Structures are given as C-alpha cells and as structure tokens.
C-alpha cells in the first residue's frame, strides 16, 4: 500500500521500523522535527525515542516548526529526553519542565530559527525527522499538513528520516511552495508579492543520499483544541468589524481590506469567523496557521485565497476539508514558516495582523507569554514577526480571566513581548482602543475608556491619575507597578 508513496527507485529498501530509525538518534544530538501547531509532526520516531529512553536514557536538543500534536512534547518531556527545546511549544507537561528549569527553552520569533541555523549561530541539525505524504522519484519530500521548518531542517541536516504517513491524503501533494532564501551577503529579494505567489518547489529538495531511513506510520494529526465562539469573543469580533467598517468608510481601506493574519487559538479563530457577518469580501489571508475559520470564510464566499504554514482543524472540519481538498486546493498554499512569517513579505503585503495577548498595560505594551512575569505559557511564536511588520497590529483578549480574579489590563505588564511601538489596536469584549498616532498618556486614556473590565476600571484609573502627578512621558509608580501581580501571587486575585 505504501509503495506507491515511495517513488525513488532505491528507497524501498530504506524502510525500517520506528525503533530502528530512532536508534540513529544519539545522546547529545540536535534533532529537527516537522510539526507546526499540532499539524504534520513526525509521530512514530519521537514515540519510539521516548520508549527507548525509559531503558536507555538520552538527552537531545529538539527543534520543530512550532507546537506538536499527539501529546509528543509531553511524552518526550516525561521521558526526560529533552535538554533543550526550540522555538515554540504549547504543552502543559513540557511547560512544567520548562518552568522548573529542567528543559532549557529558547523562545524565538518563528521566522528566525532557520536564519540562525543557516549561519551557525545555534548548533546545527544532526538528524531531521520529517513527516511526508510521499517521496518523489528524485527523492524530494512532500510534506503533509504543515511545512514549518521542515524544509531547512532537511536541507541543513546531516541525515534525514522520513515518516510516510498513510493517513495523510495524497491530495495534499501540490499544496506546498518550498522557497528557501539564498545565503547572505548575496541574497536576492524573496519574490513573494501576493498571498497567491508561487515561487518554489512543491516538495523539499534534498540530497537523496541523506535520507537514511523511512518509517511508515498510520497515526492521524491531533484535532485543534479551539473552543466555539462565545458571547465575549463575539463581542470582540463585533468591535473589530465595526472598526474596520469605519476604516473603509474613512477611505483608509476598501471592502477587500488587506491580507489578513490571525494567530492561533480560540479568540483569533472566533474573530476570523466573525468576518462572515460583515460586508467585507474578496479577502485574502497571509498567515501562519489556517484554522476552521479559514474554511468557514471560504465556504461563505468571503475569502479568495489563504497562504499559511499549516492547517490545524477540528475533527469534523478536518474530515470535510480533506474529502473536498480538490475544491479548496487552488485557493491554498502552505509555505515554510520563514516565508509565511518573513518581515520582508509581511511589510510588503501590508497585512492586518490579529494576535492574542495574555495581558496588556495602560500604555499598550503586550505580554504574550509569561504568567505573572515568570511562568512560560507557550512562547512568542509568530506574533512578533507580524505585529512588528504588518500594516496594522491588533491584539485581542478578554478583559478578565479566572472569573475576574485576573484583569488582562494591568498598570504595567509583567513581561514584555510587544512594545508599545508595535501595537496599534487593542480589543477586549468591552471595547476597542485605537492607539495609532497617540502618545503614552493618550493611549492610557483610550485604553481606560474602552478596554478595561468595569470591576478594575476605577483602580486602574486611580493608578494612572496618581502616576501622572509624578510625571514622565510614560507615567508610572514604579514601586506599585506590579502590585496587582503580587496580589495575585499572594492572595490568588489581583484585587487588593
């Protein structure tokens, strides 16, 4: 059954068990695996590696595109296989090992990892493990539901293991566009000039001699964990739609808007879904992860084209999309994350970027990663690539969390991932703050008026008023700036 998927004439003999392939990975190695937001990760080899480590302990540096599905990060962390993890994760078990200091986590802008690898600024890849739909006659690797960093990992690695996943539809072939920027200092422009631009190969070109093992697998991708829209996320989507309608009315945008990027997760998915009920049409996406909402918008006739680095869907959506892939295929491209998140392309296309904040402060600085300033949640992911370089940088969050014990709007964020320079619009369910062209004191006033939950508004206003008395371009009471976070630490609530 799998033989037609391994088309290179010499490669049939390289098929081995997952255990045998995993045995190529030695203690201390740097391993680059496919996988981006629970899509297209190598599945059998990491499981076999975790099993093996129970009897034969080893530690590796694991690099991926982004987060892995099938609980692989948890399984590898619990087997104590990971000494270092780069550049993103989203697993509660691994998170625990990161926050305890067992696993060294290097939290990177998703466009930068392979740039650093290519210039030997971080240790090079010993072995790449890449999930594939098939291998071409020439040995090219056809990725599955994500591209992520797989192409550069395979190209830069000393050896490559390919997992042919029989549950991944062969209709995925042709969806990918693999373009790798040339080496510096003679690099030429990345030729992507629209979300539809096809500029590379539909497979990962790799020296066939480097493919040392092929494993055949039958485990499906994990489903997306996004929750359906609720009252708050619908309110956030409504504020965004009203704002964009006003921008159109003011002549700053047309009803086609500009290409859209949306971060992963429940809120961003709900916000994108909300575009169904707007006058906007002929939309395009140039994003990282294509979620259920992308296909909702295709089906509603709102979206013309979507470029991403992975497709991460709920179970039911996944089955429908794969069954109908021939219908969607001419409207889709999957790219390496270096290209989906490239500052050059993001700036050129003029994206409207929608990402999720963990918390933001009076002046519009955003924390995307650290709970209480210390505990890593997932990582910055691509939010920095987009927020810095887009036409318009929007952050969304609910105004409170934990039944009101936490305010998402605070005097000063306990960790900064996006500075006030990179944040144009903030939205919570209570309203929208348009910070463009405003100085910090003005930013504070519009945030206070629009984005703060009523149960925290007076206290935050009081902090601001007292800080203004002391003065400064960005007024703060430095001795009190984290008092809300400290209350939470000591008493389980930000309330005094």
Options 145-153, 309-317, 402-410, 439-447: segment touching a copy of itself (CB under 8 A): 439-447
* CA–CA distance, 45 with 419 (Å, rounded to integer): 40
Kindly state whether residue 468 participates in binding a copy of itself, applying the rule CB under 8 A: yes
Binding residue (CB under 8 A) for a copy of itself from 202, 238, 372, 404: 372
Residue (177 or 422) nearer to a copy of itself, CB: 422
User: Is 20 an active-site residue?
Assistant: no
- # binding residues, a copy of itself (CB under 8 A): 85
Kindly state whether residue 446 participates in binding a copy of itself, applying the rule CB under 8 A: no
Question: Does the annotation list 59 as a binding residue?
Answer: no
- What per-residue string of b and e applies to 246-267 under the rule 16 or more CB within 10 Å gives b? ebbeeeebeeebbbbbbbbbbb
SS3 196: coil
Residue (5 or 415) nearer to a copy of itself, CB: 415
In degrees and rounded to multiples of 5, residue 292 shows phi and psi of: -50, -40
> What does each C-alpha distance from 4 to 133, 134, 142, 170 come to in angstroms?
11, 8, 13, 10
Binding residue (CB under 8 A) for a copy of itself from 81, 175, 481, 494: 481
Options 165-173, 200-208, 347-355, 449-457: segment touching a copy of itself (CB under 8 A): 347-355
Site for a copy of itself in 281-340 (CB under 8 A): none
Find the helix or strand (DSSP H, E) in which 283 lies: strand 283-286
Residue (55 or 183) nearer to a copy of itself, CB: 183
Kindly state whether residue 408 participates in binding a copy of itself, applying the rule CB under 8 A: no
Options 129-137, 262-270, 329-337, 470-478: segment touching a copy of itself (CB under 8 A): 470-478
Binding residue (CB under 8 A) for a copy of itself from 9, 403, 479, 496: 479
Binding residue (CB under 8 A) for a copy of itself from 109, 159, 273, 453: 109
Residue (180 or 214) nearer to a copy of itself, CB: 180
Residue (82 or 172) nearer to a copy of itself, CB: 82
Site for a copy of itself in 248-287 (CB under 8 A): 250-252, 258-259
> What does each C-alpha distance from 72 to 43, 130, 254, 418 come to in angstroms?
8, 14, 44, 29
Site for a copy of itself in 71-100 (CB under 8 A): 84, 86, 98-100
Cis peptide before 185 (omega within 30 of 0): yes
Options 144-152, 217-225, 268-276, 371-379: segment touching a copy of itself (CB under 8 A): 371-379
Question: Min. distance of Cβ 421 from a copy of itself in angstroms?
Answer: 6
Residue (106 or 322) nearer to a copy of itself, CB: 106
Kindly state whether residue 188 participates in binding a copy of itself, applying the rule CB under 8 A: yes
Burial of 493 by CB count in 10 Å (0-12 exposed, 13-18 middle, 19+ buried)? middle
Residue (310 or 414) nearer to a copy of itself, CB: 414
Question: Min. distance of Cβ 255 from a copy of itself in angstroms?
Answer: 14
Binding residue (CB under 8 A) for a copy of itself from 417, 426, 448, 456: 417
Kindly state whether residue 415 participates in binding a copy of itself, applying the rule CB under 8 A: yes
Considering only CA atoms, give the Rg of the chain: 23
Site for a copy of itself in 118-177 (CB under 8 A): 119-123
* CA–CA distance, 86 with 47 (Å, rounded to integer): 18
Choose among 385, 353, 337: nearest CA to 177: 337
Binding residue (CB under 8 A) for a copy of itself from 202, 208, 343, 404: 343
Choose among 31, 236, 258, 39: nearest CA to 148: 39
Q: Are 275 and 404 in contact (CB under 8 A)?
A: no
Question: Does the annotation list 269 as a binding residue?
Answer: no
Tally of CA atoms within 13 A in the half-sphere of 34 that contains its CB: 35
Choose among 165, 179, 201: nearest CA to 70: 165
Find the helix or strand (DSSP H, E) in which 366 lies: strand 366-367
Question: Does the annotation list 96 as a binding residue?
Answer: no
Helix 292-299 with 315-323: angle, nearest 10 deg: 50
Kindly state whether residue 190 participates in binding a copy of itself, applying the rule CB under 8 A: yes
Question: Min. distance of Cβ 454 from a copy of itself in angstroms?
Answer: 26
Q: Are 399 and 457 in contact (CB under 8 A)?
A: no
Enumerate residues 6+ apart whose C-beta is below 8 A from 156: 32, 114, 117, 118, 124, 125, 128
- In the set 288, 338, 420, 429, the catalytic residue is 288
Q: Are 276 and 302 in contact (CB under 8 A)?
A: yes
Give Cα 98 to chain centroid, integer Å.
Answer: 19
Residue (193 or 449) nearer to a copy of itself, CB: 193
Specify binding-site residues. Answer: 378, 382, 402
Which residues are tagged catalytic?
288
């Amino acid at each position: 059954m799998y033989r037609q998927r391994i088309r290179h004439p010499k490669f049939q003999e390289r098929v081995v068990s997952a255990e045998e392939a995993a045995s190529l990975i030695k203690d201390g190695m740097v391993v680059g695996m496919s996988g981006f937001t629970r899509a297209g990760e190598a599945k059998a080899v990491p499981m076999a590696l975790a099993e093996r480590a129970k009897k034969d302990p080893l530690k590796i540096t694991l690099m991926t595109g982004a987060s892995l599905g099938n609980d692989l990060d948890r399984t590898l962390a619990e087997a104590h296989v990971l000494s270092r993890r780069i550049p993103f994760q989203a697993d509660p078990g691994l998170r625990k090992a990161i926050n305890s200091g067992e696993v060294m986590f290097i939290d990177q802008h998703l466009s930068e990892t392979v740039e650093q690898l290519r210039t030997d600024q971080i240790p090079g890849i010993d072995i790449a493990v890449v999930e594939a739909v098939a291998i071409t006659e020439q040995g090219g690797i056809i990725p599955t539901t994500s591209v992520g960093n797989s192409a550069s990992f395979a190209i830069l690695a000393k050896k490559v293991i390919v997992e042919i996943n029989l549950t991944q539809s062969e209709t995925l072939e042709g969806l990918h566009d693999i373009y790798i920027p040339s080496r510096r200092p003679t690099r030429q422009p990345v030729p992507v000039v629209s979300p539809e631009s096809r500029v590379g190969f539909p497979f990962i070109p790799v020296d066939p001699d480097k493919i040392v093992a092929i494993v055949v697998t039958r485990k499906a991708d994990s489903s997306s964990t996004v929750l359906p829209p609720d009252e708050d996320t619908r309110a956030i989507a409504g504020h965004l739609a009203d704002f964009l309608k006003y921008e159109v009315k003011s002549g700053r945008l047309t009803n086609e808007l500009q290409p859209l990027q949306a971060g992963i997760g429940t809120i961003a998915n709900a916000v994108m879904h909300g575009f169904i009920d707007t006058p906007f049409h002929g939309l395009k996406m140039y994003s990282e992860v294509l979620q259920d909402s992308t296909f909702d918008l295709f089906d509603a006739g709102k979206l013309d084209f979507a470029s991403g680095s992975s497709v991460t869907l709920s179970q039911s959506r996944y089955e429908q999309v794969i069954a109908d892939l021939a219908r969607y295929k001419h409207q889709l491209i999957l790219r390496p994350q270096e290209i989906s998140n490239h500052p050059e392309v993001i700036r050129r296309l003029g994206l409207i970027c929608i990402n999720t904040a963990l918390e933001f402060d009076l002046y519009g600085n955003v924390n995307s990663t650290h709970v209480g300033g210390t505990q890593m949640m997932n990582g910055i992911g691509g939010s920095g690539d987009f927020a810095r370089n887009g036409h318009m940088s929007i952050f969304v969050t609910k105004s409170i969390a934990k039944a009101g014990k936490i305010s998402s709007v605070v005097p000063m964020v306990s960790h900064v991932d996006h500075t006030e320079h990179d944040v144009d619009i903030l939205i919570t369910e209570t309203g929208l703050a348009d910070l463009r062209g405003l100085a910090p004191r003005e930013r504070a006033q519009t945030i206070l008026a629009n984005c703060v939950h009523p149960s925290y508004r007076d206290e935050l206003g009081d902090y601001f008023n007292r800080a203004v008395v002391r003065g400064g371009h960005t007024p703060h009471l430095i001795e009190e700036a984290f008092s809300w976070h400290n209350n939470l630490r000591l008493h389980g609530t930000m309330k005094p």
